[in-house]
Structures are given as C-alpha cells and as structure tokens.
Amino acid sequence: RDSFCDVGAPALIMRVSALKKAGHLREELIRTNDFELYLRLAMFGSVARTNRVLGVRRVHDAQLSTPFIEHRVLDFTEHERAFESFFDHEGAALPDAPELRELARRRMGDYAYWFAVSQRVTRRPEAGAAFAYAADRRRAPSWRPPVSFLFKTRWLRSLYRMGKRVVHDGQPLPPSFDVPQI
C-alpha cells in the first residue's frame, strides 16, 4: 500500500497458476503493462520482496524505457495509467478499491513531489513539470511536503545519494559507490 514498484521484469518469479488467472499483458499500456500485471498477480497470492541485488541490468538508448527515464513525468503518467487500468478492471473487485485508487494517486503525487525537489536542488529542467504533476494529485497544499514519504528506507537512501551528488558538483557517482544502510 505504500511503495512504488521498481521491479525489473527479469527479477520476478511467479506461479503459472496465478499467471493464468491474471491473464495477459495489456497492450494499451506501453511502458507499464508488466507493472499492471504485477498488481493483478498480487490478487491471487502473497507477494514477497527482497532488498538484495538479483542481477545486473544493461542500460542503453534503444530500450523501450529510455524516453521514460529521461522524462520522469511521462513515466509517472504511465504508472498512473497502469493503476487506472487495474482499478477499472480486476482491481474494482477489491472491497476498498475506491480508497486504494485514491491512495495510489496520492502516492504518485508524493513520489513526484520529492522527484521535483531533487530536480530543483540539482537545477534540472523537469522540476516545474514534476511539481505541477504532484500538485494535481496531492490532497495537501502544494507548499506542504509529504514528510511521511521520507520514512521509507529506500527514499532515505535516494535522498542521501542526491545529497552526495550535490556535494560532488552534480557529477554522477561511480558505479562502485556503496550507499550506507540507514
């Protein structure tokens, strides 16, 4: 209920019986058809997680996700479409579906808010669009930060990394940089 999915498709293990119940990928979802499938799969059993590295992902300019990585607000919009698709179909059967739909929308706004802050701090151009996206989805006034969002370990580590980039003149950190466990 309180996390943003960043599961790489090769890192997913699922039961065939659950996959048959969940159905196929929805082709109308360009970037997030797998994410939406994960939401459907979660309706048929428990979901486990690990914070361990499961593999190495090669990043290149020809991959489908490149435009979404370069323009994160576009990525936020695509994830929001996945939530909408889920709650318009299978997720509508959940007893608290309207509340969960709204929670997903608000959390996307919270995520976008802190992304916008990171863009503003590092003087990147996408800050304005991210703040606008966040303001449209958050219940609180746009000037009030979603502080509770920071109490997730993953986000604390992201902020730590962002701070290190600012201190290091905005240069990317080497791949060998180890983020301390908080």
What pLDDT score was predicted for residue 1? 37
Rounded CA-CA distance 73/129 in Å is 7
pLDDT tens track, the chain, 182 positions: 334 555 555 567 788 888 899 999 999 998 889 889 989 998 888 877 777 777 777 778 888 777 777 788 999 999 999 999 999 999 999 999 999 999 999 989 988 998 999 899 999 999 999 999 999 998 776 667 777 766 665 656 666 666 665 555 555 545 554 544 54
Answer whether 86's CB lies under 8 Å from 95's CB: no
Rounded to two decimals, what is the model's pTM? Answer: 0.73
Buried b (16+ CB within 10 A) or exposed e, 131-158: bebbbebbeeeeeeebeebeeeeebeeb
Place of tokens 């059967």: 93
Write out the H or E segment, with its range, that includes residue 110. helix 97-121
Which of 54, 60, 46 has its CA nearest to residue 12?
Answer: 54
Which of 26, 24, 33, 27 has its CA nearest to residue 5?
Answer: 33
